[in-house]
Amino acid sequence: MKYDVVVIGAGPGGSLAARTCAEKGLSVLLVEKRQEIGVPVRCAEGIGKKDLQMFVEIDRKFIAAEVVGAKIYAPDGTEITLTEEMAGNEVGYVLERKIFDRHLARLAAKAGADVMVKTTAVGMERTRDGVKVKLRRMGEEFEVECKIVIGADGVESRVAKWAGIDTTLKLDEIESCVQYLMTGIDFDPEYCHFWFGNKIAPGGYVWLFPKGNGSANVGIGVMPALAEKSPKDYLNEFVDNHFPDGKIVEVVAGAVPVKGEIETAVADNVMLVGDAARHADPITGGGIANAMKAGYYAGIVAAESIQKGDYSAKTLRKYDELWKNDFGKDLARKRKLQQKLIKMDDETLNKIMHSLAKCKLEEISVKAIIKEVLKKHPKLLWDLKDLFL
């Protein structure tokens, strides 16, 4: 079997990459190790409206709920409300990813990509004029030849290792997550909800994302470098305190890379997209939007490189330029901010939230909020000023 491009992993990043390659006239194979695309869901499923609309027509089939903003809770319970625009790239729609991921893969297939499920990439070998990808399907191994491999194989990416791209994660560059789908709980379904505090979720936060019909994704991310117990223990404690009568109908666990901008996501014949390239937001852990953007850019660069007949890292570096110009700086800035935030004690967090609670948030920008906090707590936030002003 021979293709121009093999895309490994059919998450949002891989499906967008495969679709873009196919739309540009390349022959492309999208392989997914799971038997059903999108299942099990390892995600709270939140995404900003603009980000989603960039790549798909909105279809109610894959929208579980729509929210108007976010409510943030300080360690002492102080609440602030953020509009959708200010709440970041995870707030707007709550997806039904089981349907959404499948929809994206279907769009790739419709554009002309071949899709193989229950097919795991188990190795990769560079040849003189391309790459041989070793695949395993139902116990049987076979090889596919291609010119370019797009590694969209998520946080545990093996393609990165095979290609020699350094994406290693230290204990403070990862969020360890557990999530319950819960019913029978009381919350405002118009908002996504976030709880912060070193006792609640060290180095992370607890979220509640409405899923419609009174159900919600209630989950936690903690930083292993700071946590004293497992994320499940922290989440159980939170649920016992806040939703003692709630029923858990689904459990998922997973990890999110919060490393920030990596130096390069390319090697000869290889590009990495999405979680494989550590593209998730270091503050929120949101990675769907950036994965789709990266997939799109990788598809564009694959088409240009194949037209030139040059798949060297030097040529593929154009992909690095595209994703870095789009959201690379944001990843780097958020990583710096995250490094400061994780060092703040609960008292400091409370003080900041008290200041914010007094602002009319709908009327002012993030910059204005930071100025306000700086005015009241200059010492506290002095070292943050360069990140915003």
Ligand X SMILES: Cc1cc2nc3c(=O)[nH]c(=O)nc-3n(C[C@H](O)[C@H](O)[C@H](O)COP(=O)(O)OP(=O)(O)OC[C@H]3O[C@@H](n4cnc5c(N)ncnc54)[C@H](O)[C@@H]3O)c2cc1C
Closest distance of CB 38 from ligand X, Å: 8
Integer distance in angstroms from the first to the last C-alpha of the chain?
A: 54
Cα atoms in the Cβ-side hemisphere of radius 13 Å centred on 44 = 31
Beta carbon of residue 378, minimum distance to ligand X (angstroms, whole number): 34
CB of residue 51 to ligand X, shortest distance in Å = 8
Token code pair at residue 258: 């919060």
Residue placing its CB nearer to ligand X in the complex, 75 or 274: 274
Q: What order do you get walking across the sheet with 270-272 strand by strand?
A: 114-116, 28-31, 5-8, 148-151, 270-272, 266-267
- Determine the Cα–Cα distance for residues 313 and 267; give it in Å rounded to an integer: 5
Select 135 or 373, whichever has its Cβ closest to ligand X: 135
Query: Which amino acid type is present at position 110?
Result: K
Q: Dihedral angle at the C-alpha atoms of 279, 282, 286, 287, nearest 10 degrees?
A: 10
**d(C-alpha 9, C-alpha 15), whole Å:** 8
The two tokens of residue 259 are: 């490393």
Q: How far is the CB of 177 from ligand X (least distance, A)?
A: 4
**Which amino acid is located at 332 in the chain?**
A
Sites of contact with ligand X (CB under 6 A): 8-14, 31-34, 42-47, 90, 120-121, 152-154, 158, 177, 179, 219, 254-256, 274-276, 280, 285-289, 291
Minimum distance between the CB of residue 286 and ligand X, rounded to whole angstroms? 3
Query: Closest CB to ligand X among 80 and 255?
Result: 255
CB of 351 to ligand X, least distance (A): 28
In angstroms, the Cα distances linking 369 to 69, 285, 373, 375, 384 are 17, 22, 6, 10, 13
Are the C-beta atoms of residues 79 and 73 closer than 8 Å to each other? yes
> Among residues 130 and 285, whose Cβ is nearest to ligand X?
285
Q: Which is nearer to ligand X, 14 or 69 (CB)?
A: 14
Q: Which one, 135 or 370, has the nearer CB to ligand X?
A: 135
Other CB atoms within 10 A of residue 226 CB:
15
